[in-house]
């Protein structure tokens, strides 16, 4: 069992822990340059929330700070995920292991490579680039190292909350990531390219261990992208990935709440009499249940302090 030892309204649960910025090392720069991304751009690696706030307010029109201290950001035309534009590359690693159909749509390796080049070229033109290195999965036996590369401070702050933050020592020794997200969502995909149905593309290649986002600035694509990766990898490791929330009672009793997005998993798990383990993504192993994420992603529509005080009070600086 890997429950948090803090109540749900603790900043460590929903807003995460603060860490000092770590200067990119030569090994980090070398690994980044191998991806085709420029290291001459001003790179902010695992920047603290205060710096990401400053950059969002300065460089991203429409950004503001709420009365409770949370960052308000605009995601452009897309205010939700684009499932019809999500693709998985058909390759030797996936051809026989993915249930292909209207949900898991195929993309050729050539089209993915073209998308990657398009995204990298866009990021290389930006004045600011943000990198966040973190973990997916609290159990060290199964966790993976994830690197997020993006051009918006809002995206970096989002993943600063959703992934598990490394300690200074873990960041210094992070090395090569197991999976990399290249988020160039401000730039459109080539709609006429093979396998594209719009100017939005969210594509994953398991052989390249990469995810590329084009044409959508909605940050939730990164969150669900990591979950897709874990859904593929965890069963291969002999454990069960779950779309569920989870909490623990005073006697160590654990409850799992299953449901589609928006059906109340976060609300049900936010019980003031129980410790929160997580609100959306978990893995069940032979020794217990662990959260994939480092924070929570709660919908704020019609949110009130009376009905959901734990969630309401978590909307503060850093979120």
In tens, the pLDDT along 4-38 reads: 332 323 332 223 333 334 444 557 777 777 778 87
Measured CA to CA, the distance from residue 146 to residue 132 in angstroms comes to: 8
Residue position matching structure tokens 């309204």 = 9
In tens, the pLDDT along 33-55 reads: 777 887 666 889 999 999 999 99
What's the pLDDT band for 309 if we cut at 50, 70, 90? confident
For residue 319, the surrounding DSSP H or E stretch is none
> What's the mean pLDDT in 163-176?
96
Calculate the CA dihedral of residues 8, 11, 14, 18 and round it to 10 degrees.
-150
Measured CA to CA, the distance from residue 149 to residue 8 in angstroms comes to: 29
Measured CA to CA, the distance from residue 230 to residue 282 in angstroms comes to: 10
DSSP conformation letters of 61-100: TT-EE-TTSPEE---TT--S--GGGEEEE-STTTTTTS-B
Q: What percent of the chain has pLDDT over 90?
A: 76
Residue 164 has pLDDT above 70, yes or no: yes
pLDDT score, position 140: 97
Question: Would you say the pTM of this structure is higher than 0.85?
Answer: yes
Q: How far is CA 62 from CA 59, 124, 129, 189, 255, in A?
A: 9, 24, 19, 24, 40
In this predicted model, which residue has the larger pLDDT, 201 or 17? 201
Q: How far is CA 190 from CA 57, 80, 159, 187, 194, in A?
A: 30, 21, 26, 10, 9
> What's the mean pLDDT in 217-227?
97
Average pLDDT of the chain, as a whole number = 89
Which residues lie below 8 Å from residue 138, measured CB to CB, with a gap of 6+? 2, 164, 290, 291, 292
pLDDT score, position 10: 30
Measured CA to CA, the distance from residue 102 to residue 34 in angstroms comes to: 34
Measured CA to CA, the distance from residue 314 to residue 70 in angstroms comes to: 9
Q: What percent of the chain has pLDDT over 70?
A: 91
> What's the mean pLDDT in 246-251?
96
Rg (CA), the chain: 19
Beta bridge partners of 44: 130
> What's the mean pLDDT in 121-136?
95
């Amino acid at each position: 069992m890997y429950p948090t030892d803090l109540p749900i309204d603790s900043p460590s649960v929903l807003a995460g822990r603060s860490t000092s910025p770590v200067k990119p090392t030569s090994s980090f720069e070398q690994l980044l340059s191998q991806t085709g991304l420029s290291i001459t751009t001003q790179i902010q690696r695992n920047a603290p929330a205060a710096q990401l706030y400053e950059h969002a307010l300065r460089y991203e029109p429409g950004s503001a700070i709420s009365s409770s201290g949370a960052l308000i950001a605009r995601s452009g035309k897309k205010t939700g995920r684009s499932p019809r534009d999500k693709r998985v590359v058909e390759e030797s690693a996936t051809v026989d292991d993915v249930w292909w159909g209207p949900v898991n749509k195929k993309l050729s390796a050539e089209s993915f490579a073209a998308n990657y080049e398009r995204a990298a070229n866009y990021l290389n033109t930006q004045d600011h680039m943000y990198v966040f290195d973190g973990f997916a999965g609290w159990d060290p036996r199964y966790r993976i190292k994830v690197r997020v590369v993006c051009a918006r401070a809002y995206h970096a702050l989002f993943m600063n909350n959703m992934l598990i933050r490394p300690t200074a020592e873990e960041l210094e020794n992070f090395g090569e990531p197991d999976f990399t997200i290249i988020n160039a969502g401000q730039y459109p995909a080539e709609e006429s390219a093979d396998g594209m149905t719009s100017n939005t593309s969210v594509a994953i290649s398991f052989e390249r261990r990469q995810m590329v986002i084009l044409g959508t600035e909605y940050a939730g694509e990164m969150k669900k992208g990591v979950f897709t990766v874990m859904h593929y990898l965890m069963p291969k490791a002999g454990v069960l990935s779950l779309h569920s929330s989870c909490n623990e009672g005073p006697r160590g009793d654990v409850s799992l709440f299953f449901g589609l997005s928006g059906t109340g998993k976060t609300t049900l798990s936010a019980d003031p009499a129980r410790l929160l383990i997580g609100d959306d993504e978990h893995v069940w192993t032979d020794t217990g249940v662990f959260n994939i994420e480092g924070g929570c992603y709660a919908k704020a529509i019609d949110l009130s302090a009376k009905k959901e005080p734990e969630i309401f009070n978590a909307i503060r600086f850093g979120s």
